[in-house]
A and B are shown apart, each in its own frame.
Chain A
Amino acid sequence: MASDAVGGILLAGITLYAVFGGADFGGGLWDLLAGTTAQGRAPRALIDESITPVWEGNHVWLVFDLVIFWTAFPYAFAAVMNTLALPLWLALAGIVLRGAGFAFRKELSHLSLQRAAGATFAFSSLMTPFFMGTVVGAIAAGAVPADGTRASLAAWTSPTALLAGFLFVAACGYLAAVYLVGEAASRGNRAMQAYFARRAQAAAIVAGGLSLAALFQLQDSDPVIFDRLTSGRALPFVVVSGVCGLAVFALIAFGWPKVVRAIAALDVTAVVWGWGVAQYPVILPGTGVTLSNAGAPEATMVALIVVFIVAVVLVGPSFALLYALQGRHLLGGGEHVAVPAGVPVADMRPPAVGRHRQQPPPTEHVGSATRTAALGLVTIAAVIRRLRHR
């Protein structure tokens, strides 16, 4: 069935956006949490250098996914856009501010302006995944009616949707931290490797906890999906995701950053496909809107499949080239690397992230990231509990 194939393409596009675009948002999250100007200089420089040449390419997956969605499944698309207008506007605001803040920060020379642009970039990196998460959570919980024409606040402020929002933020942070361990390792930067390894572990705990919470929340809000995830056809994906998460947690401290990076990407992929397989063939759970009756005629579906094949042929190797050049540090300034927000102008030593440079380990207590993670989890759990009991 052409519509099933296009459904698969859409899910693949969402996966790629989550795995690549998500990591860029996560970079913003770690930028936000990197502390004061002096403390945060090394991690911010590494984040900046890792995101810079690739974020625009990664961002296009979002546009691609939107286009596939509205072309192939226009009825479902219109219902989602109408019902979840508010979180989508907010996610969009985050996207604009993130991109602009990131690009502007690099060109500004005054510390205060750099800080403002950097804060905009970092804060909006938090905002976008959160609201996107609430959108996906609202869809999964069956809060989008088939003929939705009105925005609904309740749809995306349900515990499931909010949990999904927090989960998206945590997953972005998790991916970014794991990738940054690899980036630091490839630059021979032991201190940053350890720094992000701790954060990757903390984020893995939070993301894992939130995944479990979201799963059990679905038991109430969407029992069909819950059953499929826990005992039905989507169970293998849940198992793969869980195993991957544990593997990342255990292995990240021991090196092999490339392997760990692949496992983390597989982890997120399994979550996305678990969700997709669990609700197949329904697009909007709780309604009769399925892949085959949500819209487009056969010829459109075939055209989309052709475009996707061409995209794989043209875009795939291009991305491979981009990542290969980036991986070999052929992009960017080399010695003259990014000066991230908050570098004191007066103290313009060559930034300490060069390949051959070592820097003093950042001053922080081991385990403080883990403690913060645990505290965050407890807080989120408390918020969700309150919401549920209201």
Chain B
Amino acid sequence: MLASGMMLHAVAQGSAQVVPARAQMATTLGFHIILACLGIAFPSFVLLAEFIGLRRRNETALRLARRWSQAMGVLIAVGAVTGTVLSFEMGLLWPGLMRQYGSVLGFPFAIEGLFFFLEAIFAGVYLWGWQRLPGWAHWWSGVPIAVSGIFGAMSVIAVNSWMNQPGGFTESGGQITSVSPWQVFFNHAAIYEMPHMILAAYMVAGFLIAGVYATGILRGRRDRYHYAGFAIGFVPAAILTPFQIFVGDTAARSIASDQPVKFAAMEYVTQTSRQVPEWIAGVYVNGNIYAGIKIPYLDSLLVGFGPGTRVIGWDSVPPADRPPVVWLIHLAFDVMVGIGSLLLLWGLWAAYEWWRRRRLPPQRPFWWAGAVSGLAAIVAMECGWVVTEVGRQPWVVYQYLTTADAATRNGGVVTTLTLIIILYAVLGVATIAILRLLSRRWRRGDTEEDVPYGPSPEPQSADAGEAGR
């Protein structure tokens, strides 16, 4: 959906290479960001499970941690290579961006490299240390993975937020003459983009874990193991959801002042005015909004807490400087907000049931919601990226460099795009197939000792396997 959306509106720009280049960036980034979320947040959940297991001598939690870290091994490997694709694409697809601003936006990437190192090194220790390292030493070897996941995410988001709110450099005669690295890193948009993405990563990972076990519970596997797996994913993610909504709301208000044209596209603000209505859903075509629900004054209220708040519309800039296909931006924004709100309500349902009866809701709809919560969180996160990235167009560096000027002039991007779509389709299917294979193997519970990649099996089952041969 992301890729086709990008394709559609990129067509409107007309330049030959920028179209496939953006489609390719959208495909590869849209794919990698899911793995990135898991890379950032999944280790924390594994560590949480192992912590519970070690602290309370809880065999179930330990088994969960051990199995999750096996899945984590696969996901980190695929994430490492798809992340490398993006590093190459920065130069191969956007040489104009790197040539002009490489010296400015490169520094946060260097810091990210540092944390990527720590993540990969300690993943090597943690994933393979299950068998021979003592319990708590092993747990501590996983802590740097979780910490560097957060700081690595901050560094990458520093680059993206800088592209939205560039600063910390001076340019004269087309040359970068000075750079102030800290202002680049902690730019104006970083304050809200960083927590927004890190919280999103934790929500995606937590709800995905919860979703796997909710599905199992729906299928009748109502045992301690499944409830524990659900709870360790669900509880942190549900607790973070209201914070995410607060951060997102703050971000939207900041965008209204920092990038008013993006905000106008998000909310269908055609003209700068007061008493602006809020549109829920609706498709904007040639000045008309179809199938939308209009709530008077609400947009002004949300932006400035009063119906008289003046909101800048997209008429404030010439048509060439407006983002294309505003309906995509608006709908993506609405879907993200809608899913976030539903996840909040779902979490409140569980909280209420726990408060009154000290249990999780037994109703099947609660677990149906659980089964799809992970996918919903992914959709919301992807929609957020559509808003950020498509909403910034036609700029790659907001008000400094257009995407068309940054794109490669080499032909053949259509070819690489096609090949990458095929490759990523295979990669995606294979990754999911292998995770399912692992899950089936765990359910059978008897052949874990034959699994080489990932932590070794529990000693007792291994011994049993050995004897059985």
Contacts and interface: CB of A to CB of B under 8 A. Distances in A.
Nearest to B128: A331
Contact of B430 (A89, A92, A104, A149): A104
Interface stretch (A31-39, A78-86, A183-191): A78-86
Q: At the interface, is chain B mostly helix, strand, loop or mixed?
A: helix
B452 A57 contact: no
Interface stretch (B42-50, B99-107, B280-288): B99-107
A315 B114 contact: yes
Contacts of A149: 95, 409
14 contacts: A54-B124, A63-B84, A67-B112, A71-B106, A77-B102, A93-B419, A103-B74, A107-B434, A107-B437, A107-B438, A299-B179, A300-B103, A336-B462, A350-B466
B271 interface: no
Interface in B220-238: none
Interface string A280-313: 0000000000000001111110011001001100
B443 interface: no
A297 B103 contact: yes
A272 interface: no
A48 interface: yes
A300 B104 contact: yes
Nearest to A333: B456
Interface string A78-106: 10111001101100110111111011111
Contacts of A107: 74, 434, 437-438, 451, 453-454
Contacts of B116: 60, 63-64
Contacts of A298: 178
Contacts of B450: 109, 339, 348
Contacts of A112: none
B291 interface: no
B122 A318 contact: yes
A88 B78 contact: no
A57 B453 contact: no
A108 interface: yes
Interface stretch (A223-231, A319-327, A381-389): A319-327
A295 to B, nearest CB: 5
Contact of A68 (B104, B110, B131, B411): B110
Interface in B41-77: 73-74, 76-77
B121 interface: yes
B109 interface: yes
B256 to A, nearest CB: 32
A128 to B, nearest CB: 11
A74 interface: yes
Nearest to B437: A107
A53 B127 contact: yes
A70 interface: yes
A285 B434 CA distance: 47
A88 B450 CA distance: 37
Contact of B408 (A74, A85, A296, A350): A85
A297 B171 CA distance: 11
B110 A303 contact: yes
A311 B117 contact: yes
Contact of B87 (A67, A99, A319, A337): A67
B437 A60 contact: no
Contacts of B462: 335-336
A376 interface: no
A75 interface: yes
Interface string B103-144: 110110111111011101111110111011100000000001
Nearest to A83: B410
A220 interface: no
A150 B164 CA distance: 29
B25 to A, nearest CB: 14
Counting chain B residues whose Cβ lies within 8 A of the other chain, the interface size class is 35 or more
Nearest to B434: A107
Given A88-B88, A296-B176, A333-B131, A56 B451 contact: no
Contacts, number: 258
Given A81-B95, A103-B74, A297-B178, A348 B410 contact: no
Interface string B207-249: 0000000000000000000000000000000000000000000
A89 B92 contact: yes
A63 B88 CA distance: 9
A1 interface: no
A318 B118 contact: yes
Given A296-B102, A321-B125, A336-B457, A315 B76 contact: no
Given A56-B77, A60-B116, A319-B121, A108 B88 contact: no
A307 B73 CA distance: 28
A349 interface: yes
Given A151-B410, A296-B179, A71 B453 contact: no
A106 B430 contact: no
A102 B74 CA distance: 10
B81 A297 contact: no
Nearest to B452: A338
B180 interface: yes
B449 interface: yes
B80 interface: yes
Given A67-B106, A108-B434, 15 more contacts: A52-B453, A54-B124, A62-B84, A63-B83, A64-B117, A74-B100, A88-B91, A99-B77, A99-B81, A107-B451, A150-B410, A299-B181, A315-B121, A318-B117, A321-B125
Interface of A: 48, 52-54, 56-57, 59-60, 62-64, 66-68, 70-72, 74-75, 77-78, 80-82, 85-86, 88-89, 92-93, 95-100, 102-109, 149-151, 295-300, 303-304, 307, 310-311, 314-315, 318-319, 321-322, 325-326, 329-340, 348-350
Contacts of B437: 107-109
B78 A103 contact: yes
B85 A92 contact: yes
A246 B427 CA distance: 43
Contacts of A303: 107, 110, 179, 181
A325 B77 CA distance: 20
B77 A78 contact: no
B409 A96 contact: no
Nearest to A148: B95
A184 to B, nearest CB: 18
Interface in B432-459: 434, 437-438, 441, 447, 449-454, 456-457
Contacts of B127: 53
Contact of A92 (B88, B100, B427, B451): B88
Contacts of B357: none
A349 B124 CA distance: 26
Contact of B452 (A48, A74, A95): A48
A277 B236 CA distance: 53
B78 A82 contact: no
Given A318-B121, A334-B132, A338-B452, A103 B84 contact: no
B98 interface: yes
A74 B128 CA distance: 38
Given A107-B438, A304-B107, A336 B449 contact: yes
Contacts of A311: 113-114, 117
B237 to A, nearest CB: 26
